[in-house]
Amino acid sequence: MNHDDASLAPYAMHSSATAGRVHAEPAHAYRNPYQRDRDRIVHSGAFRRLAHKTQVFTGGMGDYHRSRLTHTLEVSSIARTVARTLRLNEDLVEALALLHDIGHPPFGHAGEDVLDERLRGQGGFNHNRQALRIVELLEQRYPEFTGLNLSLEVLAGQGKRAGKTHTAEQPPGRLLEVQVVDAADSIAYDAHDCDDAVELGLLSLADLEEAALWRTAAAHARERYAALDERQFRRTAVHELLDILVSDLVRSTRSRLAAAGTASVAEVLSRREPLAGVSADLMAQQRELERLLFERVYRHPVLLAERNHAGAALAAMFDRILDEPQRLPGSLAGIATEEGLPRAAADFLSGMTDRYALEEFARMGKGTRSGG
């Protein structure tokens, strides 16, 4: 056991118990395998491009709201807090969190829907699967191998997100570290989408009062501070919302682990049902808040208009590349040959930032060749 593992719970994934990497590499002098994975993800081109990719609200809507990158950092921050509190492997959690949205195309789900539709019958497009393509195939940073050669636990965790069905060798369950990142993802977006939507004027505080979870958070904010202006109140309520969900996640996970008498990683992996998660009551409240966000924010006319515009641009570029394959960068020629032009086009387009995609769309309109 290396010193990073000494403080971990018995049901945590110990760094020294890793199954290794596809391409065997000697151990690093002072970083454990998951710290190394985290660093490889942070240094990847796909990770940097998250800064200019839409989470929910596009870059044209101002600078306040979350981008795909800052969403990712909030997920990592929440997940690490929970992991440390539960004595899980914080390094593994951090690597998984930083990786989890790396496969998103530009323009959020609008971009994903277009690519999925264009690849219908050819495997479709899914951001969780694309994350695996990026780290296993598309990132070319090391002379010894394609991809980032991440630890098998990180690949398996992302594989579960991508809905890869388990094989005879793979157990049905997910590591607690993977479960915690999943829970942290929904906690992060529930909280920040409330904050961003109100800031952008797409939703009012009165709208949010329709959700029980927000009402509780708002009540906590009012109890703590007598007089807050509207913006201070909103931000305080968002912090309270995070605190309610994260505290419940820690508590509920602890009591499930205790009730199940969980004493090892093998026991965690043998269970199909997750052990880490908020209570059933809070889960229902999260779903209620998410329905409200879906109806009032994600389907808001302002966002639908952005969506349609971005989707049409991406679709036009996809079709243009199929007509003029020379538009593909040379680095994707091998993929076009082996997996077909549509898949290579999706790899190219999904790697673009929102900004680059719009610039490329304008260039294509003028008929100029991309620089690749």
Query: Given CA atoms 131, 132, 138, 142 in this order, what sign does their dihedral have?
Result: positive
Q: Which is nearer to Mg ion, 35 or 76 (CB)?
A: 76
Smallest distance from the beta carbon of 75 to Mg ion, in angstroms?
6
Smallest distance from the beta carbon of 185 to Mg ion, in angstroms?
4
Smallest distance from the beta carbon of 72 to Mg ion, in angstroms?
7
Smallest distance from the beta carbon of 249 to Mg ion, in angstroms?
16
Phi-psi region of 164 (alpha: psi -120 to 50; beta: other; left: phi over 0): beta
Q: Which is nearer to Mg ion, 15 or 58 (CB)?
A: 58
Candidates 27-35, 45-53, 97-105, 319-327 — which segment interacts with Mg ion by CB under 5 A?
97-105
Smallest distance from the beta carbon of 36 to Mg ion, in angstroms?
23
Smallest distance from the beta carbon of 186 to Mg ion, in angstroms?
8
Smallest distance from the beta carbon of 98 to Mg ion, in angstroms?
11
4 binds Mg ion (CB under 5 A): no
Long-range contacts from 72-79, C-beta under 8 angstroms, 24+ separation:
72/97, 72/98, 72/100, 72/101, 74/188, 74/192, 75/100, 75/101, 75/181, 75/184, 75/185, 75/188, 76/184, 78/184, 78/187, 78/188, 78/242, 78/246, 79/180, 79/181, 79/183, 79/184
Q: Which of residues 218-277 bind Mg ion (CB under 5 A)?
A: none
Candidates 129-137, 180-188, 263-271, 282-290 — which segment interacts with Mg ion by CB under 5 A?
180-188
Compose the 346-365 pattern: x for residues touching Mg ion by CB under 5 A, - for all others.
Answer: --------------------
Helix pair angle (68-85, 230-260), 10° resolution: 40
Distance separating alpha carbons of residues 135 and 155, to the nearest angstrom = 9
Q: Which is nearer to Mg ion, 194 or 328 (CB)?
A: 194
Smallest distance from the beta carbon of 187 to Mg ion, in angstroms?
11
Q: Which is nearer to Mg ion, 97 or 269 (CB)?
A: 97
Options 37, 139, 177, 185; binder of Mg ion; rule CB under 5 A: 185
Q: Which is nearer to Mg ion, 185 or 240 (CB)?
A: 185
Distance separating alpha carbons of residues 53 and 210, to the nearest angstrom = 30
Q: Which is nearer to Mg ion, 177 or 185 (CB)?
A: 185
Q: Which is nearer to Mg ion, 238 or 328 (CB)?
A: 238
- How big, in percent rounded to 5, are the helix, strand and coil portions of the chain? 65, 0, 35
101 binds Mg ion (CB under 5 A): yes
Q: Which is nearer to Mg ion, 92 or 269 (CB)?
A: 92
Smallest distance from the beta carbon of 253 to Mg ion, in angstroms?
19
Which of 87, 82, 84 lies closest to 12 in space, CA to CA? 87
The 8-class DSSP code of residue 87 comes to: T
Smallest distance from the beta carbon of 44 to Mg ion, in angstroms?
17
Q: Which is nearer to Mg ion, 28 or 48 (CB)?
A: 48
Which of 129, 106, 2 lies closest to 50 in space, CA to CA? 106
Candidates 15-23, 162-170, 181-189, 276-284 — which segment interacts with Mg ion by CB under 5 A?
181-189
Q: Which is nearer to Mg ion, 101 or 354 (CB)?
A: 101
What is the DSSP track for 19-83?
Answer: --BSS--PPPSS--HHHHHHHHHHTSHHHHHGGGSBSSS-GGG-SSS-BHHHHHHHHHHHHHHHH
Chain centroid, CA 337 distance in Å: 30
**How many residues in the shown chain lie near Mg ion by CB under 5 A?**
2
Residue pair 178/157 in contact (Cβ under 8 Å)? The answer is yes
Candidates 21-29, 98-106, 166-174, 327-335 — which segment interacts with Mg ion by CB under 5 A?
98-106
Candidates 90-98, 130-138, 179-187, 336-344 — which segment interacts with Mg ion by CB under 5 A?
179-187
What is the DSSP track for 194-248?
Answer: HHHHHHTTSS-HHHHTTSHHHHHHHHHHHHH-S---HHHHHHHHHHHHHHHHHHH
- Sites of contact with Mg ion (CB under 5 A): 101, 185
